[in-house]
Structure 1
Amino acid sequence: MTDDVSGPPLPLLLDAVLSVGTELELRATLQHIVDSAVRLTGARRGVLRVSDAGGGGAGDVFAAGDMPLPDDTATATATATATAMPSGTAASADAPSGVGPGSLSVPILVHDKEFGTLHLTAGAAGVFSDADRGLLRILAGQAGIAVGNARLYETARQRERWIEGAAAVTTALLTGEAAADALMTVAQQARLLAGAAAGVVLQPTPAGGMSIVAAATDGGGGAGGGLSPERRRHPAAAAQNDLIGTTIEPGSTVLEQLLGGEPVFIEDSATDPRMTTRVRSRFGPSMMLPLQAGGRLIGTLALPRRRGDHPYTAVERLLATQFASQAALALVLADAQQSRQRLAVFEDRDRIARDLHDLVVQRLFATGMMLESTRRRAGAAPVGTALDQAVDELESTIQEVRTAIFALQQPPADAPTTFRGKVLKETAGAAAVLGVQPSVHFIGAVDTRVTDPAAGRLLRALRRALAAASRRIAVTRVDVAVDAGCVLPDGRGGVRLTVYDDGETDGVSAGTTVTWQAPL
């Protein structure tokens, strides 16, 4: 052991001081501290126990030396001290924390707040000298400065990562992602930045609760129970599917805060009485942050860690809250951008429809009138027949163009998948042009019986009939009926479409009924 701080150990002290200050990464700095303490004092064993939760590593233990560290890290330092202290040795009055000469214990202070405690167990001599204690005090002081610098660096790096992550989310959302994909982007990016087991987005339900609508996980194991082979092959997808649809029911104590746009911080999801979901048992520390922009609550971003993981620090909570605010703003901007794009498409469709009507249809109609006049003057039968065919073709072309105009004038929307839904979409879209909402009646199992070819023909006929009705005046009633149980004249089962309107034609008020039918 050493006897004089100013003697031979001085180069070792300088080396130790420089060593603990060379690393900027916090965990590496902590390991350097305990390594330098053991090397400087000749201790057999050194243990540094982190106690400051604000440092993000409360309960962490860093060790150096050749004495085995007990499995129970909660009692590691006490065990090391007890085994090294000679029997019957009284505590030394000037020991850093009042322990005996066979061990040393000194706090590591960061900004006058205890960050952790460094414990040393004496080597072959069995005792520490006063010089050892002096050296350890000097090293502990420099260690506090090094830890403070490492924490500042780590905080700066964290801020940089969260800022870059928020920028990446904003860029991704403004490229035109669908709503579901946008929420998944937010959940996945937040999970990676927070080091969470999962990132989920919850949105309000009609019943007054909140439900998970997007989830990204690290693919780790969930709650107990065996996994199927398929779930073992795709653990991340299985975990995400387990989370989707999980609902916080009305009456939960945490729900009022979430719907009010308040952040909620949980120390242990599995034991916190405010948590009531079926998946809470697999998670520990958690943050639940509002996705809110301009007074509009889009939902809640939840970032749970696994049980036993470190709790979120004050810095992490602040950075995650700022990220959620930025992400919510990006979601609102992305939604507004998509609305503008949809409006631009609709305006362009309307312009095309006007051009078709004003230019193409009118010219076709004029050409048809010319052919009709020519046919009447022509005396030869072959010429008249050819002209009749030309007029018929022009009338058919005009009808098809008008049908296209009618379709273009409808607002863009998600295409329905069933025949019933397609009929309802066509009639709903026609209401704006007709000035009246058509009534629709279905007879029989139209969705299961009507085949795709028949459905396509009937929908085209429906568009033509609605377009024709829109050209008549004084229309106050339009009835559409689809009968999937009719019998065709040849005895086969078929589907019949009937469209009736009460509009006027050539100034004469007379209802018009148009019927189409096709085999099933």
Structure 2
Amino acid sequence: MTYESEDRGAAGGPPSSRPRKLPILLEAVLSVGTDLELRATLQQIVDTATALTEARYGALGVLDPRRSTITELFTSGLTDAERQRIGRFPDGHSGLLGVLVEEPAPLRSDDLTTDPRSSGVPPGHPRMRSFLGAPIRVHSEVFGNLYLTEKRTGHFTDTDMALLQVLAAQAGIAIGNARLYETVCQRERWIEGAAAVTTALLGGTSATDALMTVAERARILADASAGVILQPTGNGGMEIVTASTLDDPAGIVGTTIEPGSPVLAQLLGGEPVFIDDSATDPRMTTHVRTRFGPSMMLPLQSGGRLIGTLALPRRRGGRPYTAVDRLLASQFASQAALALVLADAQHNREQLAVYEDRDRIARDLHDLVVQRLFATEMMLESTRRRAAAPETDELLSRAVDELNSTIQEVRTAIFALQQPPTDAPSTFRGRVLRETGGAASVLGFQPSVQFTGAVDSLVRQPADRRLLTALRGALAAAHRRTGVSAIEVEVDATARLPDGRAAVRLAVADDGRGDDGSRSTTFTWQAPL
């Protein structure tokens, strides 16, 4: 290309001065790409192209190569008010923008109002006549197109087109570098995020907190509207069990994908699902899909075990996920699944160690402390029977009673140690069943439990704590008797005190043999509600 010959404009205007614009072009080429942040680079390119060609308005449309549509549009020369009047920008399927998408080559028009190829201009768009466009290639791929309109001094010339082609070539290099830099930074963020999740999960968080940690971190890294965890249900579907979102989460948790959904076979098979628009994709069947646009649904599986699915939807109209986004998110999901499995195994090991330690303490209490206390009680009882003085008899009786009470309290502690060290049930009924379940491991059989009345709503503090204490003591006393093979526990929330007040009544009956040889012992306790 030589800049020493004169070039007249397309409308026969005065000669253009390429040598005069050469320093401007060199300055533009040098300035493009000075910022490695991709979005800043794209805005710099369209601003530079607009200034270089003396256009009033400029735009850079980023293309989705899979659908040949404009996914993002960077503009120059438009005010905020003009952007609002335009509304939604064109998608590149019509008019000269569509021609440039279908045939990526430099394109020029002197009058858009008479050009038959021009169509699809938004109603609120400023008046435009002259048009100049050129594709931007990154390596062999068409990354996007530059659009320039309304040259301030007339029509776009051959010189303008040549300058735009040079700038587009340099822009392709700058965009390639920015994309590479962005990919490196993005990969670093995902790696750091996966490491942070692994550290948090192995730090001893609960199962619910672990899933929320994965969902929230993935949402932030993917710049998604929500981070959602789905887990398989008993009927072959999937249910949302955890959701992290900055918007209103109402209606998300608990949403199910019913069996037969088109995406379910892929999810249960451990295959990722990528969706361009959740609201319109026929494969999506949940009612919350109308909130979201582009989405990724990634399997959380490790060693052939499917833990669930990580879904990362963006808002409607949001940026689609790129191939790099999908790759990094899939790698994160695999790492998070492994961390969840390791955290679960670590929790199980720690829980087993606690069980073993509690069993050891319970055995030591039973075999050493209780037996010695019981032997001392028997010696004192024998001494009391041989004692002649009433004062001595009374003193020894009190000592025997104190030892008996101590033995009962120690046995109660043994029963408490036998119970699983998990979070306490939220309902009173569940806490009673937990007590009897813990006693079963020591008794060798499961006590039968019967509830009468609405115990969960009627039995409140402090009656619930006092009843549970009495229940532990009654079970411990039953275990001390010989020949116990069955225990019946009854909790009646419809009982009445002698004065007519509502009360809760606890009855614990067993078939063991007492100290006096009697059988079928019943322990009764009641308290006002």
Change in Cα spacing, 1:496 to 1:88, as seen in structure 2 (3 Å) is closer
What code does the residue aligned with 1:184 have? M
8 Å CA contact 1:443, 1:483 repeated in 2: yes
Which residue number corresponds to residue 416 of structure 2?
Answer: 407
Residue of structure 1 equivalent to 2:123: none
Match of 1:223 in 2: none
Q: Residues 71-86 of structure 1 correspond to what in structure 2 (within 5 A)?
A: 71=86, 73-74=89-90, 78=96, 84-85=110-111
1:104-503 alignment, distance < 5 Å? 104-121=132-149, 123-219=151-247, 239-450=248-459, 452-485=461-494, 494-503=503-512
Counterpart AA for 1:37: A
Structure 2 vs 1, CA of residues 429 and 45 (structure 1 numbering), >3 Å: closer, same or farther? closer
Contact 1:26–1:154 (8 Å) recurs in 2: yes
Contact 1:500–1:511 (CA<8 Å) still a contact in 2?
no
> Aligned partners of 2:495 and 2:55: how far apart in 1?
97
How far apart in 2 are the matches of 1:26 and 1:200?
A: 28
**1:264 Cα deviation (Å)?**
0.9
What's the CA shift for 1:136? 2.7
SS state of the match for residue 204, structure 2? Answer: coil
Q: Once the 2 structures are TM-superposed, how far is the Cα of residue 429 of structure 1 from its aligned partner?
A: 2.0
> What residue ranges of structure 2 are gaps of 5+ in the alignment?
6-16, 98-106, 118-128
Q: Distance in 1 between matches of 2:451 and 2:323?
A: 61
Give the alignment partner of residue 63 of structure 1, picking from 57, 61, 75: 75
1:14 aligned to 2:26? Answer: yes
Cα distance, 1:444–1:192 mapped onto 2, change above 3 Å: closer
Aligned partners of 1:34 and 1:63 also within 8 Å? yes
Determine the C-alpha separation between the residues in 2 that align with 1:40 and 1:519: 90
Asked whether 1:33 is paired with 2:49, we answer no
Deviation at 1:103, TM superposition (A): 4.6
Query: Which whole-Å CA distance do the structure 2 matches of 1:288 and 1:299 have between them?
Result: 10
Q: Quote the Cα distance in structure 2 between the aligned partners of 1:494 and 1:513.
A: 22
What's the Cα RMSD here? 3.4
The residue type equivalent to 2:303 in the other structure is: G
- What residue is the counterpart of 1:230 in the other structure? none
Question: How far 1:108 moved relative to its partner?
Answer: 1.0
The SS at the match of 1:46 is strand
1:365/1:316 CA distance change after superposition, 3 Å: same
* CA distance 1:443–1:122, shift in 2 (3 Å): closer
AA aligned to 1:498 is: A
The whole-number CA distance in structure 2 between the counterparts of 1:65 and 1:446 is 72
Tell me by how many angstroms 1:297 deviates.
Answer: 1.4
CA distance in 2, matches of 1:418, 1:307: 41
Structure 1 position 389, deviation (Å): 0.8
Q: What TM-score do you get using the length of structure 1 for normalisation?
A: 0.83
Secondary structure of the residue that 2:154 maps to in structure 1? coil
The alpha-carbon deviation at position 315 of structure 1 amounts to 0.8
Structure 1 equivalent of residue 521 of structure 2: 513
Letter in 2 for 1:518: Q
> In the alignment, residue 213 of structure 1 is paired with which amino acid?
V
Percentage of matched positions with identical amino acids: 64
Q: How many corresponding residue pairs?
A: 489
Aligned to 1:226: none
2:406 and 2:505 mapped to 1: Cα distance?
24
Report the Cα distance in structure 1 between the residues aligned to 2:460 and 2:183, rounded to whole angstroms: 63
Task: Output one character per residue of 1:356-393: Cα deviation in whole Å (capped at 9) or x when no partner.
Answer: 23333233234334433443443322122112111111
Q: Distance in 2 between matches of 1:18 and 1:132?
A: 18
1:268–1:285 Cα contact (<8 Å) kept: yes
Q: Which residue of 1 aligns with 2:36?
A: 24
Contact 2:110–2:156 under 8 Å retained in 1: no
- In structure 2, distance between residues paired with 1:128 and 1:83: 8
User: 2-side partners of 1:435 and 1:87: how far apart?
Assistant: 93
Give how far 1:109 is off. Answer: 0.8
Q: Distance in 2 between matches of 1:331 and 1:407?
A: 30
Per-residue CA shift, 1:178-237, capped at 9, x if unaligned?
222221221111111111111111112223221211111122xxxxxxxxxxxxxxxxxx
Give the drift of 1:314: 0.9
1:241 is paired with a residue whose SS is coil
CA displacement, residues 426-473 of structure 1 (integer Å, 9 cap, x when unaligned): 222222222222222334444455554454444334323333433455
Of 48-57 and 27-36, deviating more is 48-57
For structure 1, the 5+ residue unaligned runs are: 92-100, 220-238
- Deviation of 1:110 after TM superposition, in Å, equals 0.7
Q: CA deviation at 1:492?
A: 6.4
Question: What CA distance in whole angstroms lies between the structure 1 residues aligned with 2:112 and 2:231?
Answer: 63
- Quickly say closer, same or farther: Cα 1:257–1:360, change in 2 above 3 A: same
Q: Distance in 2 between matches of 1:271 and 1:55?
A: 16
- Structure 1 distance, partners of 2:375, 2:110, is 110
Cα separation, 2, equivalents of 1:449 and 1:43: 79
Letter in 1 for 2:72: D
Q: Is the 8 A contact 2:275 2:296 kept in 1?
A: yes
